[in-house]
Structure 1
Amino acid sequence: MTKKNQELWIQISSGQGPEECALAVRKVFDNLSKAVVNSGLSLEILDSTSGRKPRTYESLLLNLSGIKADEFIRPWLGTIQWICESPYRPGYKRKNWFVSVRILPAVSVDLVEVNAEDIQWKAVKASGPGGQHVNTTDSAVQALHRPTGIQVTASEARSQHSNKKRAVEKIKAILSAQMQGARDEHVQKQWLLHKELERGNPVKIFVGKEFRER
C-alpha cells in the first residue's frame, strides 16, 4: 500500500509575548529543523514576522511535507515552555516563557488568484538545510510577488517549469494562510484569554540557554 505524502502548514507563535518569547519561537524552529534531518520530511519557512531582537520571530508559518508528517509534528502541538533567565534583561525575575505550535486549517489555494504579470522570476542555485534532498541546478527559481512583497524559492523539482508552478503554489499558500489568519483571529484571542490554563499544561519543556529538553 502506497503511503500518502502529507503537506501541513505549521504556525509557531509567541502569542504577543515579550522578546524572550520571540527568541523561543526561533529556538523551537531550530529544534524542529534538527529533528527533520534524516526523517525524510521537508521543512521550510513560508512566511515570518520578525521580532524586535536580531534572529527572533514573533511568528513563523512553516510548510512541513512528507510521509507521516502529522505523526512527526504531533508531540509539538500545543504550548511549549522555556525555563530560562532572560538573555535580554539581567536580573529580571521572570524565567518562564511560552510559545504555541499548531496546525493551521487548510485553505484551498484555488480561492486565491495570483496574476502571472505580478511575479518577478529569478533563476537561483539552492541547497537544503540539514541534508534535505533538493535540486541544486539553475532550475531552482525565486519568485517575488510584487503587490505583497512575498518572496519564495522553489527547488524541489528538476525542471524550471515545475519549480515555477511550485513557487506560485507557495505564494498562494501564504496568501491563503493570511486570509485564514484574519478569519481565525478569534482562535488566537481565545488562546490569549486562556493562556494561563494552557501554560499550565505544556506539551514540551525546555531549560536553559542551550534549550535542553527536560
Structure 2
Amino acid sequence: MERIIQITSGRGPEECSWVAAQVLKKVLEEAKEKGMEARVLQRESGQENGTVNTATVLVEGSGSAEFADSWIGTIQWIGQSQFRKMHKRKNWFIGIFEVRQSAKAQISYTDIKYQAMRSSGAGGQHVNKVSSAVRAVHVPTGIAAVAMESRSQHQNKKTATERLIQKLEAATLEQLKEEVNQQWENQLQIERGNPKRVFSGTDFKKQKTDKSYKATRQQLKNNLQNYIE
C-alpha cells in the first residue's frame, strides 16, 4: 500500500517555508520509525537556506494510509521568526494534502509516437548514413524526448522513452503543485483554527492537542455557574 502527500507553504512567507522544511524532516523520521519507506518525489526549495516551498512524499508500507491521515491538514508552528527577529507574529501555518492516485501521470505507451532521426555530432560516416537517433513524442501533450547516444536504434528508443516518462512525471507534479497551492489558499482561513498537529520552538517539539474538548466544556460550566451566582 502506498500514499502520496504534499507538504506546502502555500504562498506564505519564508517562515512558512522554514516550517515546511522541518515538517518534511519529521514526516521522513516518523515514517522510518514506524517501519515504512518514505521517498521524496519532488522538492522545491525556498529562497532562504534550509527552507522548502513544496515537497511531495511517497509513503509505502503497512499502515501508510493511517500514517498519511495523521498528517493531512493544517500544521501550526508557534515560535519566533527565524528571519525577522523583531516580527511580532508567533503563529505560522502550512498545509499537507493527499495526492490522489488518479492524479499521478497515467501514461499509455499507445500514446507515444516514435520518429527515427539522423544522429548529429561526431561519429563519422555512420552518423551521416544511419538514422539511429529516436524522438519519442507523447501525442496527447506534445511533450517529446530525444536519444541519440547509441548506435543501436533499439537502445535509443528505450532511452528516449525513459526520458519522456520522466518529463511527463515532472509536468504532472508541476501541475499538481499549482492545484494544491490553490487548494491550500482556499482552505487556509477555514482550517487555521483546527490544526492537525502543533509544534513549537526552534527545536520543533510537538505539542499535545486536546481533542476531548474537556477544557472547553469545563470553561462553559464555570461561566454558567458565575452567571447564576
TM-score, normalised on structure 1? 0.65
Tell me by how many angstroms 1:168 deviates. 8.5
Alignment partner of 1:79: what SS?
A: strand
Corresponding position: 1:11 with 2:6: yes
* RMSD value, Cα: 3.0
Alignment partner of 2:4: what SS?
A: strand
- 2: distance between equivalents of 1:115 and 1:53? 42
Counterpart of 1:87 in structure 2 is 82
Tell me by how many angstroms 1:112 deviates. 6.8
| Residues 176-191 of structure 1 mapped to structure 2, 5 A cutoff | 176-181=172-177, 185=179, 188-191=181-184
Corresponding position: 1:198 with 2:194: no
Q: Percent identity?
A: 29
State whether residues 31 and 59 of structure 2, in contact with CA within 8 Å, keep that contact through their aligned partners in structure 1: no
Tell me by how many angstroms 1:194 deviates. 3.8
| Residues 80-119 of structure 1 mapped to structure 2, 5 A cutoff | 80-106=75-101, 107-111=103-107
Counterpart of 2:154 in structure 1 is none
Tell me by how many angstroms 1:44 deviates. 1.4
Corresponding position: 1:212 with 2:205: yes
State whether residues 79 and 101 of structure 1, in contact with CA within 8 Å, keep that contact through their aligned partners in structure 2: yes
- 2: distance between equivalents of 1:47 and 1:176? 11
Q: Which has the higher helix share?
A: 2
Tell me by how many angstroms 1:179 deviates. 3.8
| CA separation of 1:207 and 1:59: change in aligned 2, threshold 3 A | same
Give the structure with higher Rg (CA).
Answer: 2
Listed as ranges, the gaps of 5+ residues in structure 2 are 115-143, 146-160, 208-229
Q: Which amino acid aligns with 2:89?
A: R
| CA separation of 1:108 and 1:30: change in aligned 2, threshold 3 A | closer
- Count of matched residue pairs: 161
Counterpart of 2:227 in structure 1 is none
| Residues 1-214 of structure 1 mapped to structure 2, 5 A cutoff | 6-106=1-101, 107-111=103-107, 173-181=169-177, 185=179, 188-214=181-207
| CA separation of 1:181 and 1:31: change in aligned 2, threshold 3 A | closer
